[in-house]
Amino acid sequence: MSKFNGIAAFTKSEFWGDMNFNGSIFKGDMLSFLGARFNDPANQENACRKAKMLSEKNGDRALSSYYFYREMEAIRKKRGVLNQPYILPYERDRSLRAETWLMIKQFFWYDFVEYIFVQGMFGYGVHPMRLMISWGAIVILFSILYLIGNGLKGDLQPFDYLKFSLATAIAPGYIATIISPESTGYKLDQGYQAVAIVESILGTFLWAGFIATFAKKYMK
């Protein structure tokens, strides 16, 4: 069991072997793993949880959020297949033969879906600007899709596609532009109904996530 009575700074350190802080006691006011790299996600989870708890104790919300993000990142890596500790090739081959389907599911969910949407876009609830940028990117991407594919019918200017996409990405706007299009002066092509539904679901989900994340981060 290790005891750290002063500052314990492992800033930008690299941990390639086994490490365990479970029995360690940190009595100082600072435990830093800023920019540290871990070969084993379990080590990253353990270290960042310790640093998060100390940051919360000291009332440092910014650092607490940083370590919470890295702790959750480590948990995702542990459950996926791309960031596991190095194993010998023959052991890896044997694992692939025995657990191919399980590894495919783990890769799809943790290394693809969670990595892109939960970690990348939502930032585990501590990065509201990521949500705003993602929402704006979706609005622009779908407006280009409507424009290129002539998805709207009527007397239109290029900016109208952006307005339509912006409205569609919000639930009330979807009702106005899709269900009651007479008020807008243009109509969505029948073949783009499914596209608009997908945009509305993604946009509303991201917008709601932004509000919840913003409130959590700035209104405590």
Q: Which of 18-22, 63-67, 161-165, 183-187 has the highest mean pLDDT?
A: 63-67
pLDDT above 90 (res 72): yes
For residue 137, the model assigns a pLDDT of: 94
Confidence band of 185 (pLDDT split at 50, 70, 90): low
Give mean pLDDT, residues 48-67: 89
For residue 91, the model assigns a pLDDT of: 47
DSSP string, 118-164: IIIISGGGT-HHHHHHHHHHHHHHHHHHHHHTT-EEES--HHHHHHH
For residue 71, the model assigns a pLDDT of: 95
Q: What is the mean pLDDT of the chain?
A: 81
DSSP state of 125: G
In the chain, where are the structural domains located? 3-124, 129-218
- Residue 189 is encoded by which pair of tokens? 């092509």
Give tens-digit pLDDT for 89-141: 444 554 555 567 777 888 889 999 999 988 998 889 888 888 889 999 999 99
Whole-number Å distance between alpha carbons of 97 and 89: 12
Confidence band of 66 (pLDDT split at 50, 70, 90): very high
Confidence band of 169 (pLDDT split at 50, 70, 90): confident
Q: What is the pTM of this model?
A: 0.76
For residue 174, the model assigns a pLDDT of: 63
